[in-house]
Amino acid sequence: MIRVAILGGGIGAQHLAAYDRLDGFSVTHLVDQDADRCAALCGDRIAPLSTVEAALGTDVDLIDICLPPHMHAPVAIDALNAGKHVICEKPLATSIAQADAIAQAAGRAGKSVFPVFQYRFGPAFNRLRALQVAGLVGAPRAASLETHWNRDADYYAVPWRGTWAGEQGGAVLGHAIHAHDLLATFMAPIKAVTARLGTLVNPIETEDSAALIFELAGGALATSSVTLGSARDETRLRLVYEHLTATSHTVPYAPGEGNWQFLARDPERQAEVDAVCAGVPLEPAGFAGFLNEVGKAIAGEPNRAVTLEDGVASIALVTAIYASHRDSARVSLPLPADHPMREGWQP
């Protein structure tokens, strides 16, 4: 049994619900400064705590960090130094230097870090993986991503949101980071980016709009359109491969669910595509799918857990996006070790 302490009862409440659907985990402690929320989540089965330090002093195996972004890296490093495995909500860190420090702490401790990219886990992506294994997909050619969500004054009423000090970034850090992870995971690694960012919707410090062009390994091209001023929350992905085009539904926070289309470029192979999709078994999705793979990884079993390297790559990409916008230039990845934004992209 993997014993868990959750730090933060906001998004941490969704983590808790996912743990409750799985065997192999026991959430024993939860930290939240909102005493009423903490009591409601803990009930009579979880020990409520008021400080991070208290959680790090418990005998749990895994610390699940669901705190504001500026706290992620220092708390992750403290948890690793305390001998715990770590789950960390996005973003893993708010600079390349912080991400490297987390990796160094994990190496010293001999513990694992699992950045949270729960969108990877859902029926559609299970089908896409199966189609790739079956040889029905081919090389990536093009992709378009839409992260069109609605964030208004109520959302930004939380004091740290929309600020460089608290949130450390805007829509490309806290929202579209998921879609960009899916692109790198299911298409190809991102090798260059050209970006334009804007603050067009809300009176905040950070960006709430973006238009991005990605160049992928192997030559494929992709675009990403981001806004927090949409009439409703929608996420849309279209992934075009050599032999297949995969088009998502518009489910905003679970893009691996909904009614996807998988269309063979050669109509005579559509029956093969349909047969593979029909034969894919159901697996846990979203946070439950993410955590299920974490459990396998900690147990030393074959797994598809999100890795520390994935999280570090996501922070390098965010850095490149901010650098591209501020310099009005195409930025190649990987970034050089002496990149001027290595210590952060905050103004």
| pLDDT, position 188 | 98
The pTM (predicted TM-score) of the whole model is 0.96
Q: What is the pLDDT of residue 277?
A: 98
Domain ranges of the chain: 2-118, 120-282
Q: What is the pLDDT of residue 57?
A: 97
Q: Which CATH superfamily is domain 2-118 in?
A: NAD(P)-binding Rossmann-like Domain (3.40.50.720)
Q: Along the chain (347 residues), what's the average pLDDT of each consecutive run of 10 residues?
A: 97 97 97 94 95 97 97 98 98 97 98 98 97 98 98 95 95 97 98 98 98 98 98 98 98 94 98 98 95 98 98 98 98 97 95
As a whole number of angstroms, the distance between CA 33 and CA 51 comes to 8
Out of 3.30.360.10, 1.10.287.70, 3.40.640.10, 3.40.50.970, the CATH code matching 120-282 is 3.30.360.10
Give start and end residues of each alpha helix (H) in the chain.
12-20, 35-42, 52-56, 72-81, 96-109, 123-133, 171-174, 177-186, 270-278, 286-298, 308-327
- DSSP-assigned letter for residue 266: S
The per-residue pLDDT for range 126-185, each reduced to its tens digit, is 999 999 999 999 999 999 999 999 999 999 999 999 999 999 999 999 999 999 999 999
* Cβ-Cβ contacts under 8 Å for 226 (sequence gap 6 or more): 147, 148, 171, 172, 175, 176, 209, 210, 211, 212
As given in the structure block, the two tokens for residue 53 are: 């330090």
Q: Which tokens go with 80? A: 């690793």
> Which tens digit of pLDDT belongs to each residue from 213-227?
999 999 999 999 999
DSSP 8-state assignment for residue 328: T
What digits encode the pLDDT tens for the residues 49-66?
999 999 999 999 999 999
CA angle (250, 189, 197) in 5-degree steps: 60
What is the β-pairing status of strands 229-241 and 140-150?
A: antiparallel
